[in-house]
Amino acid sequence: MRINVIKAYFKKEVIDLIRNKMIILTYLIPLMILILFGFGIKMEVTHVRTIIIDNDHSKLSLEIINKFSHTKYFDVKVENLTYKEALHKIQTNKADMIIIIPPSFSKNLYKGAQIGVFIDGSFPLRAVTLQGYVEKVLINGFNIKLPIKIENRNFFNESMRDYNAIVPGLFGLIFLVVPASLAAIMIVKEKEVGTIFNFYSAPITKIEFIISKLIPPFLFHSVNIFILLILALYLFDVPFRGNFFIFWIASEIYILISVGIGLLVSIITSTQIAALVLSVVITIIPGFLYSGILMPISSMGKESLIEAHIFPVMYYNHLVYDSFLVGEGFKSGGNILYFFILCAYAVILITLGTLFLKKAIK
């Protein structure tokens, strides 16, 4: 391995990246994903457009309306509609929920009184969550004592903020998809343009070529670790309770895994657009499904649990969530194990890439 050869090739790659404006995308796309997904993906249900039809006009029904109006979950309108008109409002997507309080509701308490709630069920998660909210508010409004009162202590994300749940999970997605596609494009570009023959004929070894090709995406994305971390901490106000160095080193190793995937993609593709599409397709679905953004890994069924263990994103995101929210660090044996699994991934992928890369025409 000759340092000056690597240095020369490395310099060429950096100049190339800046000239063809890929450098903009290297920083723009991670930023965009973090900001768009961070602000855009909302799992909590708020501002539900609720229509309450009060046919009772009693003290109790007013109390119930009051209880609904005083939460951030419901935007309540009291209207005088027939059932059919109200249903049409849901059908035309002008309301999400109707509550119908029948006439002489308060007189019939304990004698078969019935309150009707109609929820637009097209969004399943929203419907299930809403059902729970409504039951809670109504039972609260009836002023009865439940036999068992749940005293829940929330760990890690005490105030149940959506940002704390989603933003850390995005790290595993971003650092899987973006470095892989950049690395793949950088190598395949030479194949497409034809300059790969310089590598075939020049006295540069395979290892030197791979090192000088993979270091630029690796270094550029190392800067992204800090940019995204700062955004997560100050724009989204996510707490950071763990060890910064564990987070940092794990992220560097994870980026190495990603560029390793890019290297493998570059070996089997021959045009830049194919490299881009392939690297995005094979990374974005596991990156999203097994990141823990949509559902916690521990609550997956058997099949998906096995699949989740195949992809590196689960191990990395475990460490990221630990660094941001839990803060156990290497005190917990699981974290150490996951850290070494990540190292093993990086070594295996880069070794495979080195083995399969040919320094000759196929």
Sites for another protein among residues 140-179 (CB under 8 A): 142, 144-158, 160-162, 164-165
Q: Which stretch binds another protein (CB under 8 A): 211-219, 231-239, 253-261, 331-339?
A: 331-339
Distance CA 152, CA 60 (A): 29
- Residue 158 falls in which region: left (phi positive, over 0), alpha (psi -120 to 50) or beta: alpha
CB of 291 to another protein, least distance (A): 11
Contact (CB, 8 A) for 321 and 246? no
Which tokens belong to 129?
A: 């969550």
- Report DSSP state, residue 111: T
Q: Which of residues 50-109 bind another protein (CB under 8 A)?
A: 90-93, 96, 105, 108-109
Among 6, 14, 127, 341, the residue binding another protein under the rule CB under 8 A is 127
Q: What is the DSSP string of 39-65?
A: HH---S---EEEEEEESS-SHHHHHHH
Question: Closest distance between another protein and the C-beta of residue 217, in Å?
Answer: 15
Q: Read out DSSP for 249-270?
A: HHHHHHHHHHHHHHHHHHHH--
- Residue closer to another protein, measured from CB, 103 or 296: 296
| Binding string, residues 252-291; x marks residues near another protein by CB under 8 A | -------------------xxxx-xx--x----x---x--
Give which of 318, 310, 311, 309 is closest to 339, Cα–Cα: 318
Applying the rule CB under 8 A, the residues between 180 and 209 that interact with another protein are: 185
Residue 76 DSSP one-character state: E
Task: Pick between residue 203 and residue 301 the one whose CB is nearest to another protein.
Answer: 301
Site residue total, another protein (CB under 8 A):
102
Residues 10-49 that bind another protein (CB under 8 A): 25, 28-29, 32-33, 36-37, 39-49
**Which of 7, 55, 135, 205: binder of another protein (CB under 8 A)?**
135
Identify the three-state secondary structure at position 345: helix
Listed ranges 78-86, 114-122, 197-205, 246-254: which one lies at the site for another protein (CB under 8 A): 114-122
